[in-house]
Amino acid sequence: MQTIVLGSGSPLPDASRAGPSTLVRTEIGDLLFDCGRGVLMRAAAAGSSAGAIRGLFLTHLHSDHTTDLNDVVTSRWVTSFQPNPLPLFGPPGITRLLHATEAMLELDIGYRMAHHTDLQWRPSADVTECEGGLVLEAGSVRVTAAPTDHAPVRPTLGYRIDEGDASVVIAGDTVPCPGLDQLCAGADLLVHTVVRRDLIEPLGLARLTDVLDYHSSVEDAARTAARNDVGTLLLTHLVPAPQPGAEDEWVALAKEHFGGTVVVAQDLLTLEVSRWV
């Protein structure tokens, strides 16, 4: 199993970081978690595509995590030569989001169907709304969801992917919470969104400091990893984005609370996931 960071960025546009998105490559195919800006450009660089996605899993419906849903839907549709519904998983509300996306694309859908005589079906998706539990099982791969805490955004989900003895957790945006602990227990890799409280708090601007009460700090993520015996902690959705050469500061903050491996995400960073001892 491989974990590939497609986008390590945040709502703030960054020339070197696409929007939040993680690809987990498994024996059953590519599983995509969130679809922030630029996701398919990064997927192409990783050797994947909209048509190859075995499942798209949304952690929550903040725009920075769903911006390119329209691109995934459209690209999957126009590059498939037979109906190829998108398997879409996430919290209640994703059906409404999908329908709104399709309504936004209505003119485009009409244009393409009028022009391409072999394209006689509309884009489609197989939608599974959930608030926890087993959401996908195929071969040796299991994807489990649990509720997280990103209030006032509700509901929100984290996911755990198990393939054989290897396991990856996608935390999404959350503060420490029981649902995340449940997913993380003994995981090999925890992909966790983080903010730097020590850099944001002194700014004193409400629009910025407000993010602190519903995101985990680096220290929070490290304590979650330590509490649950995680092997590797991957810090992503970095706010504010580290300046080149400053990544060691983030690692040092996490290592104060966590004795395992700490990695700071960059777009297209690829980690092999195997059972750690």
Active site residues: 64
**Beta carbons of 39 and 21 less than 8 angstroms apart:** yes
| Residue 152: cis peptide before it, omega within 30 degrees of 0 | yes
DSSP for the chain reads -EEEEEE---SS-BTTBPSSEEEEEETTEEEEE---TTHHHHHHHTT--GGGEEEEE-S---HHHHTTHHHHHHHHHHT-SS---EEEEESTTHHHHHHHHHHHTHHHHHHHHHH-TT--S---EEEEE-SSEEEEEETTEEEEEEE-BBTTB-S-EEEEEEETTEEEEE--S-BS-HHHHHHHTT-SEEEEEEE-HHHHGGG--HHHHGGGGSS-BHHHHHHHHHHTT-SEEEEEEEESPPPTT-HHHHHHHHHTT--SEEEE--TT-EEE-----
